[in-house]
Amino acid sequence: MILFADTSALVKLYVQEAFSDVMRVLAREARMIAVSRIAWAEAMSALARRVRERPADAASIEAVRTRLRADWPAYAVIEVTQPLVELAGDYADTFALRAYDSVQLASARTLQEGSSEVFLFACFDARLQKAARVLGMRTLDKP
């Protein structure tokens, strides 16, 4: 199985949140974990926000950043290209998505179209999950 993790799903592999256990099981079962190139910036932003909101967590968040840096080369990273952002623009309009959500969806769709393997799109945003389903992607049961 190819597991495409948007940033909300990726962060759950590193920070204990609701559905982190589900994501860790899926990650162990996956032959490949794929992410969009933008997930790096989004994840680092989310971690920085967490430190701003909870300064006492700074040391543990730095450990998370270190693990993410170490793991990143193992992920299949989908590059953001002009055709991909054009597709993302179409998805932003069609599905009323935020810009980076549409890039995540276009990244996943590009990968899915190029593969015959079982493909799972993991995200925790209801609108993004619904859009992925409309495009024929298998998603998690709950956002």
Structural domain range at position 19: 2-139
Mean predicted lDDT score pLDDT of the chain: 96
CATH number of the domain bearing residue 76: 3.40.50.1010
pLDDT confidence band for 94 (50 / 70 / 90) = very high
Q: pTM, whole model, 2 decimals?
A: 0.94
Task: Report the number of distinct structural domains present in the chain.
Answer: 1
Query: Is residue 102 within 8 Å of residue 91, measured between CB atoms?
Result: yes
| Residue range 86-96: mean pLDDT, rounded | 98
Query: Is residue 124 within 8 Å of residue 5, measured between CB atoms?
Result: no
